[in-house]
């Protein structure tokens, strides 16, 4: 019975324009769970619709509905803290009440997505659309992820670099890398020279 009172009174669906025609990237979320995200590029607009459906013929009293386009970096060892590097917001509806399903359009024009999406062991860089229906008791939130690719020209100068480490009169090592800038998927190629070893 208590779950009836605390259940969300609405279903929220986020539809991205042309999503079914976009290239999809399959992302592994957990050991046996994968999800497909639509691919977007830097500078491309994020447009779509938010559909809010009422459950059980009830009305919904709300303190406003907004949609956000968010970019975050999440560290797995620090679950509570997210670094938000992008946050755009649009108001979809002023405070009021809903008695039937409604559809709201949104459009974030020419969004600069300066980083590529990334899902690693220790860190995740993600972009998503978030809809928030503000309510007196508890807000209703829904998120939809998307994947960002960024095509940039390789840097003009990508010289090799050398680094030296050691312990005085004991050990002297020199590292040489074939370039100074790498893409996340690049393989690091280099050489290690043991110049002095007295151990």
pLDDT exceeding 90 applies to what percent of the chain? Answer: 43
43 part of a folded domain = yes
Q: How many other C-beta atoms lie within 10 A of the C-beta of residue 14?
A: 18
For residues 123 and 183, state if they share a domain. Answer: no
For residues 132 and 165, state if they share a domain. Answer: no
Contact 16, 47 (CB under 8 A): yes
| Residue range 157-184, pLDDT digits in tens | 778 888 888 888 888 899 898 888 877 7
10 part of a folded domain = yes
| Residue range 51-96, pLDDT digits in tens | 999 888 788 889 999 999 999 999 888 777 889 999 999 999 999 9
CATH of the domain at 91: 2.60.40.640
Could you tell me if residue 41 is left (phi over 0), alpha (psi between -120 and 50 degrees) or otherwise beta?
beta
For residues 48 and 118, state if they share a domain. Answer: yes
For residues 128 and 193, state if they share a domain. Answer: no
Report pTM: 0.75
Which residues span the domain enclosing 103? 2-149
pLDDT at 27: 87
- Rounded distance, CA 190 to CA 74, Å? 30
Alpha helices in the chain (DSSP H): 2-6
Count, in order, helices (H) and strands (E) of the chain.
Answer: 1, 15
- Average pLDDT (1-12) is 64
CA angle at residue 137 from 51 to 130, to 5 degrees?
35
Contact 157, 99 (CB under 8 A): no
For residues 22 and 118, state if they share a domain. Answer: yes
For residues 166 and 140, state if they share a domain. Answer: no
Report the number of distinct structural domains present in the chain: 2
- Rounded distance, CA 24 to CA 81, Å? 28
pLDDT at 85: 94
pLDDT at 180: 82
pLDDT at 4: 46
For residues 101 and 187, state if they share a domain. Answer: no
For residues 128 and 192, state if they share a domain. Answer: no
For residues 55 and 135, state if they share a domain. Answer: yes
Q: Is the pLDDT of residue 137 over 90?
A: no
- Rounded distance, CA 125 to CA 69, Å? 14
For residues 133 and 180, state if they share a domain. Answer: no
Q: Is 90 exposed, middle or buried (0-12, 13-18, 19+ CB in 10 A)?
A: middle
Rg (CA), the chain: 24
pLDDT at 154: 65
- Rounded distance, CA 177 to CA 28, Å? 31
For residues 121 and 43, state if they share a domain. Answer: yes
154 part of a folded domain = no
155 part of a folded domain = no
156 part of a folded domain = no
pLDDT at 30: 76
For residues 142 and 171, state if they share a domain. Answer: no
């Amino acid at each position: 019975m208590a779950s009836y009172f605390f259940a969300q009174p609405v279903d929220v669906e986020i539809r991205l324009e042309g999503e079914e025609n976009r290239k999809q990237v399959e992302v592994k979320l957990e050991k046996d769970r994968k999800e497909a995200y639509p691919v977007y590029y830097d500078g491309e607009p994020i447009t779509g619709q938010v559909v809010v459906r009422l459950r059980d013929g009830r009305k919904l009293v709300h303190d406003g509905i907004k949609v956000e386009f968010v970019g975050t970096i999440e560290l797995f060892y620090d679950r509570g803290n997210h670094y938000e590097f992008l946050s755009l917001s649009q108001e979809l509806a002023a405070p009021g009440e809903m008695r039937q399903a409604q559809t709201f359009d949104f459009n974030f024009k020419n969004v600069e997505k300066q980083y590529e999406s990334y899902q690693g062991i220790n860190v995740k860089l993600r972009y998503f659309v978030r809809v928030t229906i503000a309510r007196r008791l508890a807000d209703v939130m829904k998120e939809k992820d998307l994947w960002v690719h960024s095509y940039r020209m390789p840097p003009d100068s990508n010289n090799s670099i050398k680094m030296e480490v050691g312990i005085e009169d004991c050990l002297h090592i020199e590292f040489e890398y074939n370039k100074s800038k790498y893409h996340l998927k690049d393989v690091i190629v280099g050489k290690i020279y043991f110049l002095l070893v007295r151990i």
